[in-house]
Amino acid sequence: MKKVAVIMGSDSDLPVVEKAIDTLKTLGIPFEVHVYSAHRTPEEAKAFTQNAKENGFGVIIAAAGMAAHLAGAIAANTVLPVIGVPIRSAFDGMDALLATVQMPSGIPVATVAVNGAKNAALLAAQILAVEDAALYEKLTAMRAADRDAVLKKNAAVEEKYNS
């Protein structure tokens, strides 16, 4: 199975990014976690990204706040799928969201919600599952379990209020 790179612009992003890490662990997806800044360590971020495919990565998750140029800088140096996670900081995260989602034509970044690291990991898993039947089945089972949990809560609410 291909690995997922989880890159954050600062270690202060770790509390949000841990939701992606936990989800990847739950699904049994191999991953690496790094701190690379688009502005403070641009050469290191570029070197990692340019070698990602050869190093066994299939998807890159990039999380950053404020100016949030990390996902775009990474996407500019690879054709691997890049998933941006805007991190809430100033302006309730809208600055990071817009910086992540507003990419120029030809350099796409799939973008999840502000602080949406869990969904970033799930999207990475879905991308990898295109060629991995076992992972596809894990995702299908996860969706079924989520459905069952909601229906159980619905039954409890209905019993309490619709008697």
For the chain, 163 residues long, give each residue's pLDDT as a single digit of tens.
Answer: 999 999 999 999 999 999 999 999 999 999 999 999 999 999 999 999 999 999 999 999 999 999 999 999 999 999 999 999 999 998 999 999 999 999 999 999 999 999 999 999 999 999 999 999 999 999 999 999 999 999 999 999 999 999 8
The whole-model pTM stands at 0.95
**Angle of the 133-161 helix axis to the 14-27 helix axis, nearest 10:** 110
Q: What b/e readout covers 108-124, taking b as 16+ CB neighbours within 10 angstroms? A: ebbbbebbbbbbbbbbb
Give the whole-angstrom CA distance, residue 74 versus residue 69. Answer: 9
CATH 3.40.50.1970 fits 3-131, yes or no: yes
Q: Residue 37's beta-bridge partner residues?
A: none
Whole-angstrom CA distances from 109 to 44, 60, 102 are 20, 10, 9
Q: Where are the domains of the chain?
A: 3-131, 133-163
